[in-house]
Structure 1
Amino acid sequence: MLFNTLSKNLAFLLFILISFSAYSQSLEPLKFHHIQDGMSQSSATKLLEDRYGFIWVGTRNGLNKYDGKDFEIFRKSTDNKTGLSHEYVVELYEDGENLLIGTNEGLNLYDRSLNIVTPFPFINEGLHIKDRSFQSVARINGELWLGTESAGLYKYNENTGKISHFTLDNDKLEVVNPRINKIHKIIPLDANRVLIISSYNIIVTNNNLEILNEVQAIENIISAISLEDNNFLLGTNNGSLIRLNVSLTSKIEKDKKQVSPGFGIRSLAKNLDNEFWIGTENNGLYIYSTELEFIRHLEYHVSKPNSISGNSIWSLLCTRNGTMWVAPYKSGLNFYDPEYFKFKHINSDPFNHKSLSNKLVNCFIEDANGNFWIGTDGGGLNYWNRAFDTFEHYALKNKTLNTNVVLSILQNKEDELWLGTWTNGITVFNTKTKKFKELNTENSFLNSNIIIDFLKDKKGHIWIINYFAGVQVYDPNTNSHKNVILNSDVDGVEINSIYQIFEDHLGQMWIGTLNSGLFKLTENNGTWTTTHYSTHNSLSNNFVNTIIQDSESTLWVGTQGGLNKYNAENDSFKAIT
């Protein structure tokens, strides 16, 4: 009987372990990108995304503004006029167009119009607090609420310089902690109430700093974030999460969950999937659901280059586009972008005969099965079976194609590809039989044996772009063709340097050239009328790289001289700079 009971318990335990293991393995690993260079210091203390999308990084030695490529650094002042009042940044707060920066010694102002940082201009009574360590900042009803590291909270009126001081009643706490009066967060609840979160106190006040309700915490709170509907999430020094709700009557309800026992929760953020990212001190990163159910635990691994770069997570940030920024102690910055690693790099491998035949890819199309036909510059045509991740090669080397250079591909029929080649005209390739035939200047209507682009329009006509030999239109139904003549409006000469072709939602054809601007072709009773756009009227540059139309039917043209937006009302382009 005892044996049977033990067997059942062991079987149940084994089932749980296997289930948990299977669940863990089913999660795709998160891959982090690392930024190690360019910052003023390798330990980021605070992260903020401003209204313009810049990422601001406070460190132990200066402030950094990141534009996605480079860092602009603001350091400690050397003249007490411009620069930070102290190098150690502990708070970042966006205040309208500008930023307020809390440091270990004073508040600072970033003036966006001048792109400079200066010590905050306190006046009158405010001069008495100008050197405080401001750990939290909020502007409420036009006044600044400033939370300090050890002296409670100050409310400051910028017009009069008057200050109001709010101190914490911690006399009953039997705690030895120099940061017992630290204010971690100041959050407006509504027009008349404010939530103040300190190391050991959760307080609701009115705008005059009169206490409406107060709860004293048992554990030391070291992090906090706002959620929706006056809900909040707090992290403690002992590794607990506290979920907090403040009612309309200022009643405070809270429940606690142990997440990282013995390892403090230094940072918190919520991603766009409504998951909580929980940064700990020396125990990595946890991710929990909104129901506070465990999802995963991430740690630094020296053998995994895309893991987080450290296990002490000092700051977390979720940007508007869903990118998660992680600031590990002395380890630069990490970011996880769900879109960043969606692209798999496919390259040729000389030791794998079923890999891509050549790394230079000119063109590709997807077939009905979700596989790809790929034209290369030197390796002929490839067929990529995505399920097996293998490539079939068609080229001169194995005598399965008449060329090694495929410049363009058109799916003409379900089982037929047209391949634009370099010096071999058009290769008509049957995808079922794998047989091919060649159309060139000697046996067909082609003006050139170099075909750089195709387009099949809404009527089934095939537009063919010849290399420096103009545009031709082929009608498969009548087996006939036309040569399209494009003349410059500038000097009247015929333009043959065609590079791009595009059909818009109205069936108008747009043809981009290498150095002669852009043409619009509009059909009327079987004839085409042309409009020429160049630098002589509204186009920013005559070299057209790409043409595209968005979901709102706006046409965009990319040139060597920037992006152009088409205005259909006045039939002209506006350069976007």
Structure 2
Amino acid sequence: MIKHMLVSLLLLQLCISSYAQIERTREFVNFDKGGAFVHCFFQDEKGVIWMGTSNGLSMFDGQKVCRHKVLDGSDVLKGTFIYCTLKQDDVHFYLGTEKGLYLLDLKSDTCQLLSSPTMSIRAIEQMNDSVILLGTLNGLIKYDTGRNTFQPVDKIPQLPTNPIVRLDKSRFLIANYQGLYLYDESADTYEYLSVPSEESSLILSLEVDSANRWVWIGRENGLWKYDISSGKFTRITPFPHTPVKNMHISADGLLWLGTDNGLYIYDESLNRYEHAVHSSQNTKSLVNNIIWHIFEDRDGNIWLGTGSGISLYYNSHMVETYSWDSLVRSDEGNDIYCIYRDSLDNYWWGGSNGLCYYNPAKNKSLWFKMNRGKYSISHNRIRHIYEDWDKDLWIATDGGINRFDYATETFENYQIADSTHTRNANWTYYINGDNHSNLYLVAYCGGVFVVNKEKLLSQKGKLYVADENYYHHSGENSLHNAECLLAYNGKKGMEMALQYSPDVIIADIMMPVMNGVEMVKQLKANLTTSTIPVIMLTAKDDKKTEYNLLSLGIEAFISKPFDIKELVAHIDRILRNKYRLVRKLKEEGISLETDTVITESPDEKFLTYITEVIEQNLSNSDLNVTRLSELSGYHSKQIYRRVKQLTGYTTVEYIKGIRMKKAAMLLAKKQFMISEVMYMVGFSDSSYFSKCFVEKYGKTPRQYMENM
């Protein structure tokens, strides 16, 4: 009996060992998207990584993740959930969103809506050369790309449909709220597949393993496998009972699984898995435990789209490290301020101790410093590196600007001043150009200098008098009490207006890249910026232009030269009128969609700020009193005391109340599934979410949605 027990225990130990997870630590580079969900990725022909988020389209520029705006400066996808993408060709990509199907053209930098904005798309798959399958909240739809027509499929229930995967040339697996269907395009048949389960469990993800002829199925209750040849379903028993949102088979054959409980990496050959989760003690752990999408780029790196940003696992040698000491063959060191790769694929590093040039093709490096003979530059402090339209490289320093001669590998220095010789560009901090003829230099204590490049190059060794010099005066009647943002051309001004929503815009009719008239037209045509007051400056005595601008809705038109007192008076008048209107609407109890908030006391300002922090991080399930304290900069005890005093609620109750109000608002729109709303407001457990919602509104989320 004892012998049999020992044998049984030994077998049990062997079984447990074969199922144990691999003890391994993976490190991630994290990019926080400010609480935005990241649902999908794609990579263009140039290697740029793009991502669809809950706040539109973003891209990775090599250093950071930033939201993408199309060429005209508009942000048509801002605030829009992008759930899925499909490549059409090298420059065209379909985007499946909550507000329809878009076609992104990377060459022209435009985005076109193809469908009705009421079509909420969750999955997209190419069926043949002319037809695309779309999984929507209202069922499966066939999109004919040539005719631009959308045909609902009524052979399967018209329920929320996601995901869709291709099995072979003519067969597809399609999942919806009712189950799994096998679609044969050649026969135009839909076969319902009965997936075994001890309980009702939605299918959340599918991943085809072509090499082994099976399909991995991610469900609410764990991981399953479907054998394509035999039609048999098998549950992967050692894998936890956790919702599997997304899957990807990496180049090394491992199955990566995104769940509500972090990342799992499953080795099917060994029947073992790794598990990676977020840790507040480890900055190189996952940025968030809720993983919506997994993507592998051409270099083998794994990108994870989570509930509050991106985690990147470098699975290759995409990052190359260069030692400054080895490049310049010196141990002097340098504080690096700017890095640039030019059109010839040379690398440049500039800082407090000169400039280094590195040619990878020749494995050659040069160090440029003051008083270094042939390899001299006008000053050791390098501020900016700029390559113009002719591929000429310019360096901004504390000793003027320098142009690099690739033939001789030397720098030519240029000294620039204004017409009065009272201001100069000796301390140039920034260089830009208009892609045609002019350079724009931003100089400390000198303002902005406009320089004609052709004239400048013809005056070697001579002091060049700038064609224009714009200088920001200070004094009693200046704008020193206002926070001023400076744009160097009309296009940049438009972008900054969209980004910052200023209280007032002061612009000149004569601006590079985009003139003042065109900028005002775009400002007034864009819903986000249409109400921002504009003051226009001009040196022209042109009544026709003045009338045209006034008809577009600008608030004031000032001819140059002008007294700064006149400008300040106009600004004061505009802002007083704006605040008076906001106050009036507030007193009448009217909700005004504006970024301007009138707060009469420090307590109101505090509560407004705390509420904004909560709303910006609402989708983060880890948002608690401690995290709120970290994000807001206030001590947790101070937050508790003041929130309790002002609202009557504890901090936890206040956060939960905001979550519930947001959930009710989203459910009322009927644009999202209940599970999506749950994650959007920071819940990861459906039972607890439903319980909290019933406590607040007396109805389940489904009942609330149906009654709206």
- 1:150 aligned to 126, 137, 141, which one? 137
| Residue aligning to 2:81 | 88
Q: Which AA in structure 1 matches 2:331?
A: D
How many Å apart are 1:217 and its aligned residue? 2.8
How many Å apart are 1:221 and its aligned residue? 0.8
Distance 1:241 1:542, change over 3 A: farther
After superposition, give the CA deviation of every residue in 1:522-551 in whole Å (9 maximum; x if it has no partner): xxxxxxxxxxxxx9xxx944339xxxxxxx
User: Is 1:214 aligned with 2:208?
Assistant: no
| Residue aligning to 1:223 | 205
Distance 1:290 1:318, change over 3 A: farther
| Residue aligning to 1:560 | none
- 2:280 aligned to 267, 288, 302, which one? 302
After superposition, give the CA deviation of every residue in 1:335-389 in whole Å (9 maximum; x if it has no partner): 11134699999xxxxxxxxxxxxx984489xxxxxxxxxx97389xxxxxxxxxx
- 1:63 aligned to 52, 57, 64, which one? 57
How many Å apart are 1:138 and its aligned residue? 2.7
Distance 1:17 1:74, change over 3 A: same
State the alpha-carbon separation in 2 of the partners of residues 316 and 75 from structure 1: 24
| Residue aligning to 1:483 | none
CA contact (8 A) 1:279 1:312 kept: yes
- 2:224 aligned to 241, 245, 248, which one? 241
Distance 1:11 1:85, change over 3 A: closer
- CA RMSD, Structure 1 to Structure 2 (Å): 4.6
| Residue aligning to 1:543 | 409
Percent identity among equivalent residues?
18
Structure 2 residue runs of 5 or longer lacking an equivalent are 334-356, 376-392, 394-404, 411-708
| Residue aligning to 1:314 | 292
| Residue aligning to 1:34 | 30
CA contact (8 A) 2:138 2:159 kept: no
Q: Which AA in structure 2 matches 1:542?
A: T
How many Å apart are 1:47 and its aligned residue? 2.0
Query: Which of the pair has more CA radius of gyration?
Result: 1
RCO (CA 8 Å, sep 6+): is it higher in 1 or 2? Answer: 2
| Residue aligning to 1:119 | 113
CA contact (8 A) 1:76 1:84 kept: no
Report matched runs for 1:133-148 at 5 Å.
133-148=120-135
CA contact (8 A) 2:124 2:135 kept: no
State the alpha-carbon separation in 1 of the partners of residues 232 and 93 from structure 2: 33
After superposition, give the CA deviation of every residue in 1:484-539 in whole Å (9 maximum; x if it has no partner): xxxxxxxxxxxxxxx999999xxxx999998979xxxxxxxxxxxxxxxxx9xxx9
State the alpha-carbon separation in 1 of the partners of residues 360 and 88 from structure 2: 46
Report matched runs for 1:449-488 at 5 Å.
none
How many Å apart are 1:90 and its aligned residue? 1.3
CA contact (8 A) 2:262 2:276 kept: yes
Structure 1 residue runs of 5 or longer lacking an equivalent are 123-128, 171-178, 346-358, 365-374, 380-498, 518-534, 545-577
After superposition, give the CA deviation of every residue in 1:226-246 in whole Å (9 maximum; x if it has no partner): 33266432211111232342x
CA contact (8 A) 2:180 2:195 kept: yes
How many Å apart are 1:275 and its aligned residue? 0.3
CA contact (8 A) 2:207 2:215 kept: yes
| Residue aligning to 1:338 | 315
| Residue aligning to 2:263 | 285
User: Is 1:48 aligned with 2:71?
Assistant: no
How many Å apart are 1:133 and its aligned residue? 0.8
CA contact (8 A) 2:130 2:146 kept: no
Distance 1:276 1:9, change over 3 A: same
Q: Which AA in structure 2 matches 1:255?
A: T
State the alpha-carbon separation in 2 of the partners of residues 202 and 502 from structure 1: 53
- The DSSP-based 3-state class of the residue aligned with 2:183 is strand
Distance 1:214 1:252, change over 3 A: farther
Distance 1:240 1:117, change over 3 A: same
CA contact (8 A) 2:132 2:145 kept: no
CA contact (8 A) 2:40 2:84 kept: yes
Report matched runs for 1:399-414 at 5 Å.
none
State the alpha-carbon separation in 1 of the partners of residues 83 and 321 from structure 2: 39
- The DSSP-based 3-state class of the residue aligned with 1:267 is strand
| Residue aligning to 2:624 | none
Distance 1:197 1:53, change over 3 A: farther
CA contact (8 A) 1:140 1:188 kept: no
State the alpha-carbon separation in 2 of the partners of residues 209 and 339 from structure 1: 43
Distance 1:231 1:292, change over 3 A: farther
CA contact (8 A) 2:71 2:109 kept: no
State the alpha-carbon separation in 2 of the partners of residues 112 and 159 from structure 1: 20
After superposition, give the CA deviation of every residue in 1:422-454 in whole Å (9 maximum; x if it has no partner): xxxxxxxxxxxxxxxxxxxxxxxxxxxxxxxxx
CA contact (8 A) 1:86 1:105 kept: no
- The DSSP-based 3-state class of the residue aligned with 1:301 is coil
State the alpha-carbon separation in 2 of the partners of residues 161 and 17 from structure 1: 56
- The DSSP-based 3-state class of the residue aligned with 2:245 is strand
| Residue aligning to 1:484 | none
| Residue aligning to 1:472 | none
How many Å apart are 1:68 and its aligned residue? 2.1
- The DSSP-based 3-state class of the residue aligned with 2:293 is strand
Distance 1:150 1:360, change over 3 A: closer
State the alpha-carbon separation in 1 of the partners of residues 38 and 263 from structure 2: 16
CA contact (8 A) 1:513 1:542 kept: no
State the alpha-carbon separation in 1 of the partners of residues 139 and 360 from structure 2: 65
State the alpha-carbon separation in 1 of the partners of residues 103 and 374 from structure 2: 51
How many Å apart are 1:292 and its aligned residue? 7.1
Distance 1:256 1:7, change over 3 A: closer
User: Would you tell me which structure has more strand in proportion to its own residues?
Assistant: 1
User: Is 1:166 aligned with 2:149?
Assistant: no
